[in-house]
């Protein structure tokens, strides 16, 4: 209260420090109005019932909450879980969600186009098997709008692409391809097994995503365990174990190429350790 100001005259004391007051200072147990003197001025104080006060508080909270953002959730895959297939959970997931995959063998190929985390029970426990499947990759990432993580799986028996003459061409345990500006894809703590001489491990092809390939094990890849082809932005490859037959192809192959009319300039940092 400022010096020289008349004291408040009212049945109740009111907080008139307007610089710091909030809705709670206006909530009382009576639904009436009251005039008080403050500095010689008549001020009307509205008093709200407790119920109305609760409603007003909730309305203010809803007004300041961010709109359009769903809370991240965890989707569970496995026997007795909400989803029996990993792809079913991927299709149902929203950006920021986590998919937890129980131990077991899943005979399916995965297409991932969301900023999500796919977490296995462990690289020896959650197994994705491509037996009798078709396509280029057992697991593929494209058009991811943010950060995606793939962690804790065995990838085995990837499919093989055939030419029109029924000649085996190639197949990938995991592929990352296409323009994905602003995306980051992390592949970590996985066991990738080649079951055919034409199998590659991880393939990066014409991608603009940042990619991290760390702490994985590669087994029997007579082609390249990691093939990096025209990857524009940052790529980190580190702490991986390569168990490759002697005198076979290089574990890591990195290349970029273009033409004078259509050059391909790598602007990110590539480091292998």
In this prediction, residue 247 carries a pLDDT of 73
Average pLDDT, the chain: 82
33 — pLDDT class (breaks 50, 70, 90) = low
In this prediction, residue 27 carries a pLDDT of 41
d(CA 264, CA 158): 30
List the beta bridge partners of residue 216: none
In this prediction, residue 260 carries a pLDDT of 79
Is the Cβ–Cβ distance between 109 and 159 less than 8 Å?
yes
d(CA 96, CA 103): 23
What percentage of residues in the chain have a pLDDT greater than 90?
57
101 — pLDDT class (breaks 50, 70, 90) = very high
The answer on pLDDT for 202 being more than 70 is: yes
Please report which helix (H) or strand (E) contains residue 52, including its range. Answer: helix 50-64
Q: In terms of C-beta density within 10 A (0-12 exposed, 13-18 middle, 19 or more buried), how is residue 96 classed?
A: middle
pTM over 0.85: no
Edge to edge, the sheet with strand 217-219 lists 104-106, 126-129, 154-156, 191-193, 217-219, 241-243
Distances (CA, A) of 172 to 156, 168, 186, 199, 270: 10, 13, 17, 6, 21
Q: Give one word for 122, left, alpha or beta, with left for phi > 0 and alpha for psi -120 to 50.
A: left
In this prediction, residue 68 carries a pLDDT of 56
d(CA 26, CA 149): 49
Please report which helix (H) or strand (E) contains residue 126, including its range. Answer: strand 126-129
Annotate 229-241 with DSSP letters as a single string: ES--S-EEEES-E
pLDDT one-digit tens code per residue, 120-165? 999 999 999 999 998 889 999 999 999 999 999 999 999 888 767 7
pLDDT one-digit tens code per residue, 43-67? 555 554 555 555 656 665 555 555 5
In this prediction, residue 108 carries a pLDDT of 97
266 — pLDDT class (breaks 50, 70, 90) = confident
List the beta bridge partners of residue 192: 155, 218
In this prediction, residue 26 carries a pLDDT of 41
The answer on pLDDT for 240 being more than 80 is: yes
Q: Which two tokens stand for residue 243?
A: 């168990």
pLDDT one-digit tens code per residue, 163-192? 677 777 789 999 999 989 999 999 999 999
């Amino acid at each position: 209260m400022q010096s020289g100001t008349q004291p408040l005259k009212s049945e109740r004391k009111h907080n008139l420090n307007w610089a710091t007051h909030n809705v709670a200072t206006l909530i009382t147990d009576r639904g009436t109005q009251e005039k008080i003197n403050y500095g010689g001025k008549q001020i009307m104080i509205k008093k709200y019932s407790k119920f109305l006060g609760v409603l007003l508080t909730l309305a203010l909270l809803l007004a300041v909450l961010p709109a359009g953002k769903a809370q991240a959730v965890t989707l569970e895959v496995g026997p007795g879980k909400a989803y029996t297939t990993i792809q079913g959970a991927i299709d149902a997931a929203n950006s920021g969600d986590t998919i937890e995959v129980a131990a077991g063998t899943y005979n399916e190929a995965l297409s991932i186009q969301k900023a999500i985390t796919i977490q296995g029970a462990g690289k020896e426990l959650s197994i994705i098997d491509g037996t009798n499947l078709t396509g280029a990759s057992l697991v593929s990432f494209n058009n991811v709008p943010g950060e995606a993580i793939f962690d804790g799986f065995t990838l085995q028996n990837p499919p093989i692409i055939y030419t029109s003459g029924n000649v085996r061409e190639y197949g990938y345990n995991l592929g990352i391809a296409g323009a994905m500006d602003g995306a980051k894809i992390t592949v970590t703590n996985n066991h990738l097994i080649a079951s055919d001489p034409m199998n590659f491990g991880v393939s990066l092809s014409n991608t603009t995503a940042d990619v991290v390939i760390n702490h994985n094990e590669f087994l029997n890849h007579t082609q390249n365990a990691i093939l990096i082809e025209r990857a524009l932005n940052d790529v980190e490859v580190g702490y991986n174990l390569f168990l490759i037959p002697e005198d076979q192809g290089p574990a890591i192959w990195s290349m970029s190429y273009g033409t004078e009319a259509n050059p391909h300039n790598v602007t990110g940092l590539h480091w292998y350790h």
